[in-house]
Amino acid sequence: MAESVIGKRIPKVDSREKVTGQAMYAGDYRMPGMYYGKVVRCWEYASAKVKKLDFTEALKMPGVVKILGPDDVTKKPYNTTVMKLLVPEIFGEVFGEIADLNIFNKIVKHQGDAICGVIARTEEAAERAADKIKVTYEPLPVLMTCEESKAEGAKKNGYLFTPLKPGNKAFDLPASFFPNQRYGWNDKDGKTAMELFDKCDYVIEDTYYVPKQKQCQMENHSYVAHYDERGRLNIWTSTQMAKPVQVLIAELFELPLTRVRLVQTIVGGGFGVRLGMIGEPHCCAMAMAVPGHPVRMEFLREEDWVASETRYPGHIWFKCGFKKDGSPIALDSMYMARKGGYYTHGSGPPFCFAAFIHGMYKWQAMGCQTEGYFTNEVPTGAYRGYGNPQLAFSGEQMITRMCKELGLDELEWRKKWHKGIGDETWLKGVTFASDGLNDCLDVAAKESGWYEKKKKYAKQTGVKRRGLGVSVMQHTSGAFPMLLEHSVCTAKLNEDCTVELMQQISDLGTGGHTAITQMAAETLGFPMEDIHLRSGDSDMCGFDIGAHASRTVYCAGPATIEACESVKKQLLERAAQLLEANVKDLQMKDKIISVKGNPQKSISAIKIAKEGVYNYIDAATGKTIGIPGQIQGYSSFFAKHCSPPFGACISEVEVDTETGEIKVLKLVNAHDIGKAIHPPSVEGQLEGGAQQGLGFVLTEEYAYDKMGRVLNNDFTDYKMLGPSDMPDAKIILIESAPDPIGPMGAKSCGESALMGPIGSVANAIFDAIGIQFKEAPITPEKVLKAIKEQGLQK
């Protein structure tokens, strides 16, 4: 074996092109004959009916090619998500999955809804023509809360977002699947959580609010679509889910898959926002209207805010019962989520919220009910964490409050009562195979000085108060067995004994391409530079789900490994034949295959590879020289498990009690990675996730006016933490619990990073001033108001 590349801090495979500016993002493509497509959106209203659409003046503008209205494109309704490909049809029906979106719309359900599209020779011409389009609207009721939506939906002839969802209820857990419409379990005597509260010594009940957060990926959504002379629809897009989106496009435009080519360009950040379609239908519809001309479409930043999905905001109710010693007895809960204008990921994040409660602690019984109501907001969808950040803010604060009131150490409680090996994970019937949480907690406690500082900060006076908070989490590695997790890899051995991997790996910047290349190199024993991953083009790659649910290394990695093992096996088999030896007696090192213990008896793998392709007949003997046939390895891999990783995070904050300002001084996040294939990438996920988690808990939220229009659709007023706002962040990778199922022991890390910072900062603020904040983000305004009203509680 060559020296192992697993766990090595090597440069990422795509870093040189990115650091020199050569990396091409979808918005960077320039093609001959290219037109520009602009979607005209409704900016004035969040809820309205299009009464009249007048293109007369706009069509007279120079450079305009065509303008498409709702009747000029397919009226087939669609859903932006790929959910229907990931579950059996019956499952989708039971969960109430619907398609309620059109490419161009006659009813505006949120600010930014698409009305029509302008195709012009330049972006400027499209922009000027768009200004001349006259749209006459009739305003409809603006419903911005679940209560308003529910009340309107209950009225006779009240406004309904879709006839498919009576009462404007977008989603709840189907009773046919979930007793009491709750996800959870009963105690050993069959009692529900609700029935156990009487037996508890201590019951705590409260409601929390979680904000509408935006992914804020740096690359705006951009596309080029080209309906070419062969009648193929080509689309270049930065979607996270290349293959499934190809299928959705084919279905929407009723084309066979051979006539839809989707090229995933370099993705400038995803975080869930590109989990499905965004502008693809619009760009493709415009391209199909001008065959032969590529159409480029690039979102404006302000468009991203109103026309791509966000995190689910809403209210979370918890009731938890404990014994005096802290033993967890019963948990009942309800997540009332604001859906936004369309169904999209209607079932996913609310269900997953319940699921992540399911996977965390050893209650005797637990139940969680979730509901979503349509509102006239930007639709909600996938955002890194998918329900789990909401739990981190609410559930972890509940636990800490209980510990404080019962006089228990919150860190020790978590060590004692979290689920572990053999217990059920977030999904019923699937049990944990590995558990590194206690190690995470121990290491984080040590690194943060938990016990010493807790003591030190117990009695503080003065204006500035410090506090420490802890938070734990479990997440998932891929979504099996709830959802399909299928990845295909073809490993082609070139005639010079280098390898092309053809596999649709979505690397959103996460390091997925690097880790996959490392796993291939490791399996083959070849150097990294002899492996090249070709990804992105549906003409070349087999099926793959794409990037979601922290799956790439865990679900796609095994396909890579299997395909490379097959290449290696074929090489060894040919060597065995040529050396007249037994396969099991052979070894390969530095591309030399030899008989163990007899290094003289050897053959070069390069020779085998070359002779497989350039296979000539020996003129003297009339026989082939070497063994014919180019070697290819192949795998069509289905995940076997979801190996949830654990994590523990401790934060230290300082609260200015005169101004309510919060400073996060230090953050220690220990993550149960199992095995880090590329440690800098894993650290990078956790470091970057901290910035998003801290944003969730401290600064980030949509602001709306009374008309339902977004007030902060730019970075001026939607505030994320900048480089000098970030605390000293210490990331610790725990590898003491390699996963028996994960490839090379690996579990996931992509989404895990947000939860710890969210829960631990909320808890640290609670620790510092004794007041728990139930609404995120926790702003200085809320802190000061609470101090004013309640006084310092510590």
Partner 1 sequence: MASSRILPEFELLIPQSIKEAVDLLGKLKNKASVMAGGTDVVISCTKGFGSPNVISLAEIPALDYVEYDSKSGLRIGAMATLQQVADNADVQKRYPALWKSAAINGTPQTRNMGTVVGNIMRASPSGDCICAILAIGGKVVLRGSKGKREVSIDDFYIKYRETACKSDELAVEIKIPAPAAGSCNAFARMTRTTLDLSKVNVAVRLDMSGKTVKEARVAIGAVAPTTIRLKKVEALLKGKQITDDVLQKIVETVPTEIKPIDDVRSTAEYRRDVAGIMVKRIILEALGK
Partner 2 sequence: MKKRAITLTINGEEYNLNVPVHYTLLQVMRDQLNLTDVKYGCGRGECGACTVLLDVGKGGMQCKPTDKKTTYCTMSQSKRKPILACIALAATMDGKSITTVAGLAQNGDLHPVQKAFVDESAIQCGFCTPGMVLKAVSILEKNPKPSEEEIRNGLEGNICRCTGYVKIVKAVQVASKKTATGKR
Kindly write down the DSSP assignment for every residue of 624-660, as one continuous string: BSS--S--EEEEEEE-------EEEEEEEEEEETTT-
Q: Per rule CB under 8 A, is residue 720 in the interface with partner 2?
A: yes
Residue 18 in contact with partner 2, rule: CB under 8 A: yes
572 touches partner 2 by CB under 8 A: no
- Which lies closer to partner 1 via its Cβ, residue 389 or residue 777? 777
**Dihedral over alpha carbons 529, 535, 540, 541 (to 10 degrees):** 110
Closest distance of CB 750 from partner 1, Å: 25
> Which of the choices partner 1, partner 2, none does residue 585 contact, using the CB cut-off of 5 to 8 A by kind?
none
Give how far Cα 645 sits from Cα of 359, 679, 760, Å. Answer: 11, 15, 18
Q: Which of 195, 228, 302, 573 binds partner 1 (CB under 8 A)?
A: 302
Q: Is 751 a catalytic residue?
A: yes
**Of 421-429, 479-487, 497-505, 690-698: span binding partner 2 (CB under 8 A):** 690-698
Residue 89, H or E segment: helix 89-95
E strand spans, 160-301 = 169-172, 183-185, 202-210, 222-227, 233-237, 260-264, 295-298
Binding of residue 218 to partner 2 (CB under 8 A)? yes
* 369 binds partner 1 per the rule CB under 8 A: no
703 interface partner picked from partner 1, partner 2, none, CB below 5 to 8 A per type: partner 1
Residue 651 as a binder of partner 2 (CB under 8 A): the answer is: no
Helix and strand numbers, DSSP H then E, in the chain: 21, 27
- 792 lines the binding site for partner 1 (CB under 8 A): no
DSSP string, 7-19: T--PPPTTHHHHH
* Phi then psi dihedrals of residue 793, to 5 deg: -100, 20
**Residue 606 interacts with partner 1 (CB under 8 A): yes or no:** no
Q: How far is the CB of 271 from partner 2 (least distance, A)?
A: 7
CA distance 113 to 131: 16
What backbone torsions phi and psi does residue 44 show, to the nearest 5 degrees?
-80, -35
Distance between CA atoms of residues 251 and 255, nearest Å: 6
Residues 492 and 500 sit within 8 Å (Cβ to Cβ)? yes
Closest CA to 748 of 694, 681, 696: 681
Contact 310, 213 (CB under 8 A): yes
Judged by CB under 8 A, the stretch of 355-363, 407-415, 587-595, 684-692 that binds partner 2 is 684-692
Total binding residues toward partner 2, as defined by CB under 8 A: 59
Of 215, 263, 267, 238, nearest to 18 by C-alpha is 267
SS (H, E, C) 409-437: CHHHHHHHHECCECCECCCCCCEECCCCH
Binder of partner 2 out of 197, 271, 432, 554 (CB under 8 A): 271
Q: Which residue of the set 280, 751, 781, 789 is catalytic?
A: 751
Structural contact between residues 673 and 683, judged by C-beta atoms closer than 8 angstroms: no
State in angstroms the smallest separation of the CB of 686 from partner 1: 21
Residue 374 β-bridge partners = 340
For residue 11, the partner it binds in partner 2, partner 1, none, with Cβ less than 5 to 8 A by kind, is partner 2
**Sole window of 52-60, 277-285, 489-497, 722-730 interacting with partner 2 (rule: CB under 8 A):** 722-730
Of all helices (H) and strands (E), which one includes residue 389?
helix 388-406
215 lines the binding site for partner 2 (CB under 8 A) = yes
Q: Does 216 bind partner 2 (CB under 8 A)?
A: yes
**Alpha carbons 306 and 45: distance in angstroms, whole number:** 12
Instruction: Tell me the C-alpha distance between 64 and 121, whole Å.
Output: 6
Q: Is 509 in the site for partner 2 (CB under 8 A)?
A: yes
Nearer to partner 2, 120 or 142 (CB): 120
Is there binding between residue 28 and partner 2 (CB under 8 A)? yes
721-760 residues in contact with partner 1 (CB under 8 A) are 721-722, 724-725
Give which of partner 1, partner 2, none residue 218 binds (C-beta under 5 to 8 Å, depending on kind): partner 2
Considering the complex, state which of residue 97 and residue 304 has its C-beta at the smaller distance from partner 1.
304
Q: Which of 455, 711, 740, 791 binds partner 1 (CB under 8 A)?
A: 711
> From the centroid of its chain, how far is CA 524?
30
Contact status: 54 vs partner 1 (CB under 8 A): no
User: Is 266 among the residues that bind partner 2 (CB under 8 A)?
Assistant: yes
Least separation, in Å, of the C-beta of 411 and partner 2?
Answer: 24
CB of residue 721 to partner 1, shortest distance in Å: 6
Considering only residues 70, 77, 123, 663, which one is a binding residue for partner 2 as defined by CB under 8 A?
Answer: 123
CB of residue 413 to partner 1, shortest distance in Å: 34
298 touching partner 2, by CB under 8 A: yes
User: Other C-beta atoms within 10 Å of 468: how many?
Assistant: 26
Separation between Cα atoms, residue 172 and residue 577, nearest integer Å:
62
- Pick from 11, 62, 88, 291 the residue near partner 2 by CB under 8 A: 11
Q: Is 703 in the site for partner 1 (CB under 8 A)?
A: yes
- For partner 1, the closer of residues 37 and 742 by Cβ is 37
CB of 240 vs partner 2, minimal distance in Å: 11
Q: Round to whole Å and give the CA distance between 744 and 555.
A: 12
Following DSSP, what letter does each residue of 708-738 receive, concatenated? S-BS--STTTS----TTTS-EEEEEEE-SS-
- For 685-696, give the DSSP string: HHHHHHHHHHHH
Q: Is 775 in the site for partner 1 (CB under 8 A)?
A: no
Please, which residues bridge with residue 586 across strands?
A: 595
Please check whether residue 243 is in contact with residue 546, taking contact to mean a CB–CB distance below 8 angstroms.
Answer: yes
Contact stretch for partner 1 (CB under 8 A) within 121-129, 313-321, 439-447, 479-487: 121-129
- Say whether residue 37 binds partner 2 (CB under 8 A): no
Catalytic residues: 751
**Interface ranges with partner 2 (CB under 8 A):** 9, 11-12, 14-25, 27-28, 30, 122-123, 215-220, 266-271, 298, 300-301, 508-511, 680-681, 683-684, 687-692, 714-716, 720, 722-724, 726, 729, 731
**Interface ranges with partner 1 (CB under 8 A):** 41, 43, 123-124, 127, 130-131, 298, 300-302, 658-661, 699, 703, 711-712, 714, 716-717, 719-722, 724-725, 779-781, 784-785, 788
